Amino acid sequence: MPDPSQPAPRLDVRGAVDLSSLARPATPPPGSPGGLPAPGSFVVDVDEASFADVVQSSTQYPVVVVLWATWSEVSQRVAKDLAALAAADAGSWLLARVDAEANPQIAQAFQAPSVPAVIAVLGGRPLPLFQGAPSPEQMRDVLDQVVQAAAQSGITGKVPPSSGEPVPAEPEEPPLPPLHQEAYDAFERDDLPGARSAYERALKENPRDTMARAGLAQVGLLERTHDVDPRAARVAAADDPHDVAAQLVVADLDVLGGQVEDAFARLVDVVRATKAEVREQVRLRLVDLFEVVGTDDPRVVAARRALTNALY
Per-residue pLDDT of the chain (312 residues; tens, 9 = 90+): 544 444 433 333 323 322 233 333 444 555 555 557 777 779 999 998 899 989 999 999 999 999 998 888 889 999 999 999 998 998 899 999 999 988 988 988 888 888 999 999 999 999 999 988 899 999 999 999 999 999 988 898 999 865 434 444 456 668 889 999 999 999 888 899 999 999 999 999 999 999 999 999 999 999 999 999 999 999 999 999 999 999 999 999 999 888 999 999 999 999 998 887 788 999 999 999 999 998 888 999 999 999 999 888
Q: Are residues 23 and 146 in the same domain?
A: yes
What CATH number is given to the structural domain containing 91? 3.40.30.10
Assigned domain for 284 exists? yes
- Residue 137 to residue 158: CA distance in whole angstroms: 23
> What pLDDT is stored for residue 240 in this prediction?
94
Same domain, 182 and 248: yes
146 plus 24 within the same structural domain: yes
Has residue 13 been placed in a domain?
no
DSSP 165: P
CA 75/CA 248 separation, integer angstroms: 62
In terms of domains, do 133 and 189 share one? no
Q: Please tell me whether residues 125 and 213 are part of one structural domain.
A: no
Cβ–Cβ < 8 Å for 45, 91: no
Judge whether 295 lies within some domain.
yes
Shared domain check, 217 and 138: no
* Residues 185, 83 share a domain: no
Query: Do residue 26 and residue 134 come from a single domain?
Result: yes
The pLDDT of residue 277 is: 79
Other C-beta atoms within 10 Å of 18: how many?
9
Statement to judge: residues 201 and 302 lie in one domain: yes
Q: What is the pLDDT of residue 162?
A: 56
**Residue in 243, 183, 176, 257 with CA at minimum distance from that of residue 217:** 183
Which of 134, 152, 170 corresponds to the end of one domain?
152
DSSP state of 164: S
The total of structural domains in the chain comes to: 2
Q: Does residue 262 fall inside a structural domain?
A: yes
Residues near 77 by beta carbon (within 8 Å), at least 6 away in sequence = 133
Length of the chain: 312
In a domain, 171, yes or no: no
Looking at the domain assignment, is residue 226 inside a domain? Answer: yes
234 and 296 co-located in one domain: yes
At 15 the pLDDT is: 30
Whether 192 and 256 map to the same domain: the answer is yes
**pLDDT for 1:** 52
The whole model's pTM is what? 0.47
In a domain, 159, yes or no: no
- Residue 138 inside a domain? The answer is yes
By residue range, what is the domain housing residue 63?
19-152
**Helix 244-256, helix 276-293: angle, nearest 10:** 0
CATH number at residue 184: 1.25.40
Do 26 and 137 lie in one domain? The reply is yes
